[in-house]
Amino acid sequence: MRSPDIRSTFLDFFSARDHRVVPSGPLIPDDPTLLLTAAGMNQFKPYMLGERVPEHRRATSVQKCARTSDIDNVGRTTRHTTFFEMLGNFSFGDYFKQEAIGWAWELLTGHFGLDPDRLWVTVYSDDDEAERMWRRLGVPGERVQRLGMADNYWSMGVPGPCGPSSELHYDRGPSFGREGGPAVDGERYQEIWNLVFMQNLRGEGPSKEGYPIVGELPARNIDTGLGLDRLAAILQDVDTLCETDLVAPTFRLAQELAGRAYPGRDGSEESVSFRVVTDHARSVAFLIADGVLPGKDGRGYVLRRLMRRAIRHARTLGIDEPALPALTASVIDNLGPAWPELERRRELVRQVVAAEEEAFDRTLRQGSRLLDGAIERARRSGSGLSGRTAFELHDTYGFPIDLTVDAARSAGLTVDEDAFGELLERQQRQAKEAERDRKGGAVARQDAYRRIVARHGLTDFVGYDRTRADV
C-alpha cells in the first residue's frame, strides 16, 4: 500500500466513525511552550485543557511533525526521522479507552492487514483496565507488557495535559534485534501507534519521569498518534523509513549524486550518511515551507543545524557539487501533491538552501581539515575531543556541536561537551555585555515599545481620515 492510500484509509476509517477531518497544523506552533510541532495533538491542546470548546468532539488528522530531539537517532536506528507524518484520532471529552483500543485493533488488523501475531502492546504499569481490553480482543497475555512513566505516560508542554498511554508495536523480525517484546528491544518491536488517555495535568518537574501530576483535566480525552512512515515501511516491506515511497526518490537521488549505491542496513557510516542526507533534506524543505529561516538561535538554528549536517554528510559521501537544492527539489516533486505548501514555496526553499550551502562550503573544507586532524590526534593519544576544539569549530567554522559529536562518534570518540558548553556560555555572556554597552539606550527604548504594544496592541493610523479635533 502506497502512502496516499495509507493516509486516506486512516482518515476514511475515522470519518466513517463521525470524526471531523482537520487539516494539519503548521510546524511553527501557536504555543509559546513549544519550539516546533512534534505531535498531532498540539493544535488540539486548548480543547483538552478546557480553554476552548471544539465545534466537533471527534477529530482526525494527518499532522506534519518535526522532532529534532531525535536527530542523533537518524540513520542509527531504522525508525527515527526528524520529520514524519502522524496519523491521529482524537476525542475531546467524548469516547474513551474502549473505543480507542477497539478501533486501533480493527484498523490495523482488518484494514491494513497487519498480522495480529506480530503485534505486541504495552500498557502503563497500573493500567489493568487497558490490559483487560486488549486481552478481550484476543491479544495473548505474553504479548501485553507493562512499562513505566518514561515510556507509557505521555505529556505535552509544562503545564500541559498528560495521561497514561498504551502502545502498539510490530515485530520486525530477528534481523532487527533481540527477542522479548518492546520492553526489551525497541528496534525489533517497533512502536507504531501510541494511544494516550489524556486525563491529567502535568506540573513542573526535573525530567520526563520525574514530574508531578497536579490535577485532572475537565474531561477525559483521547489523543492517538500512528507514525505514517513506520506503517509505510511495514506495509511496503522495506527496512528503514528512508526507503518508503515517502522519500525513496530523494534517497535514490542521493545515491546517484554520490555515484554509489546504498550499502544496506549494515551499520556502516556510509549507510548512516545516506539516511541522514535523505531525512534532513525532507525536514529542511518542510521547515522552510512553513516559514522557518536559518538563524542563530531557536527554530532558525534548528534549521541551520539540519542543513549543515546534511551538507557535511553529503560531502563525506563524495558529493562535491551543491546537494541540497537538488535533494530538496526531489522532496517537493514527491510530496508536493500531498502537501501543496511545498510546491508554493519551491523557489524560497531553493534560494535558502543554495545560499546556506554556498556559505557553509567556504568554511567547511577548512573546518573539516581541523576536525579530521584533531580526531586523528585524539585517536593516537587515546583521548576524546576537547571542548576547545569543538568550540573553535563552532566559532570559527560554524560547525554545530552535534555535527562535531557526530563526526567524533563515527571515529569511536567522545567530545567534552561540558567544556564546550562552558566556553559557549562564556562567549554568549560576553557578547551580551558588549551589546548592552553598545546600544543600551536603544534597547531600553525598544523594550518600552514592546511593552506598549503588548498592552494595547498595534494601533491603526487614522490621521488621514480624522484629525485631532474629531477625536
Q: Fill in the per-residue mask, 10 to 49: x = in contact with Mg ion (CB under 5 A), - = not in contact.
A: ----------------------------------------
Out of Mg ion, ligand ATP, none, what residue 19 binds, judged by CB under 5 to 8 A for its kind, is none
Nearer to ligand ATP, 191 or 357 (CB): 191
**List of residues 6+ apart from 286 with CB closer than 8 A:** 27, 64, 66, 83, 331, 339, 342
The nearer residue to Mg ion, 134 or 420, going by C-beta atoms, is 134
What φ, ψ does residue 80 adopt, rounded to 5°?
Answer: -110, 135
**Nearest distance from C-beta of residue 202 to Mg ion, angstroms:** 16
Q: Which does 227 bind (CB under 5 to 8 A by kind): ligand ATP, Mg ion, none?
A: ligand ATP
Q: How far apart are CA 194 and CA 39, in angstroms?
A: 11
Nearer to Mg ion, 227 or 367 (CB): 227
Contact 469, 462 (CB under 8 A): no
| Nearest-angstrom CA–CA distance, 298 and 283 | 16
CB of 389 to Mg ion, least distance (A): 31
244 counts as binding Mg ion under rule CB under 5 A: no
Toward Mg ion, which CB reaches closer, 185 or 333?
Answer: 185
The alpha carbon torsion through 143, 144, 145, 149 (nearest 10 deg) reads 140
CB of 124 to Mg ion, least distance (A): 11
- Please confirm whether the linkage preceding 46 is cis (ω < 30° from 0): no
Q: In whole angstroms, how close is the CB of 115 to ligand ATP at the nearest point?
A: 18
CB of 18 closer than 8 Å to CB of 58: yes
Q: Which of Mg ion, ligand ATP, none has residue 57 at its interface (CB below 5 to 8 Å by kind)?
A: none
> In this structure, which amino acid lies at residue 42?
N
Binding span for Mg ion by CB under 5 A among 7-15, 34-42, 185-193, 318-326 = 185-193
Residues that bind Mg ion (rule: CB under 5 A) add up to a total of 2
CB nearer to ligand ATP: give 62 or 314: 62
Least Å distance, CB 163 to ligand ATP, is: 12
Q: Go through 397-408 and write b for each residue having 16 or more CB atoms within 10 A of its CB, e for each that does not.
A: bbbbbbbbbbbb
Cα–Cα dist 187/123, whole Å: 18
Considering beta carbons, is residue 75 or 400 the nearer one to ligand ATP?
75
Whole-angstrom distance, CA of residue 14 vs CA of residue 89: 7
DSSP-based three-state secondary structure for 8: helix
Q: Given the rule CB under 6 A, which residues bind ligand ATP?
A: 67, 70, 79-81, 84, 86, 186, 191-194, 225, 227, 229-230
CA distances from 443 to 435, 446, 451 (A): 9, 5, 12
CA dist., res. 338 & res. 142, Å (int) = 40
Nearer to ligand ATP, 192 or 390 (CB): 192
Judged by beta carbon, residue 247 or residue 311, the one nearer ligand ATP is 247
- Angstrom CA distances, 287 to 4, 209, 290, 361, stand at 21, 30, 5, 21
CB of 116 to ligand ATP, least distance (A): 18
The residue (of 25 and 225) whose beta carbon lies closer to Mg ion is 225
Asked if residues 38 and 238 have their Cβ atoms less than 8 Å apart, the reply is no
- Least Cβ distance, residue 206 to Mg ion (angstroms): 19
Number of C-beta neighbours around residue 233 at 10 A: 24
Tell me which of ligand ATP, Mg ion, none is bound by residue 81, counting a contact when its beta carbon lies within the kind-specific cut-off of 5 to 8 angstroms.
ligand ATP
Provide the angle, in degrees to the nearest 10, between the axes of the packed helices 228-235 and 3-15.
120
Q: Considering beta carbons, is residue 42 or 389 the nearer one to ligand ATP? A: 42
Nearer to ligand ATP, 165 or 273 (CB): 165
Which residue number places its CB atom closest to ligand ATP? 227
Residue appearing with cell numbers 584533531: 374
CB of 48 vs ligand ATP, minimal distance in Å: 16
Question: For residue 190, what is the enclosing H or E element?
Answer: strand 189-202
Least distance between Mg ion and beta carbon 343 (Å) = 30
CA torsion, ordered 84, 88, 93, 94, to nearest 10 deg:
180
Binders of Mg ion among residues 189 to 208 (CB under 5 A) are 191, 194
Q: How far is the CB of 96 from ligand ATP (least distance, A)?
A: 18
Query: CB of 168 within 8 A of CB of 144?
Result: no
192 binds, among ligand ATP, Mg ion, none (CB under 5 to 8 A by kind): ligand ATP
Phi, psi of 229 (to 5 degrees): -65, -40
Taking the complex as a whole, the smallest distance from the CB of residue 197 to Mg ion amounts, in Å, to 13
> Which residues of this protein are in contact with Mg ion, per CB under 5 A?
191, 194
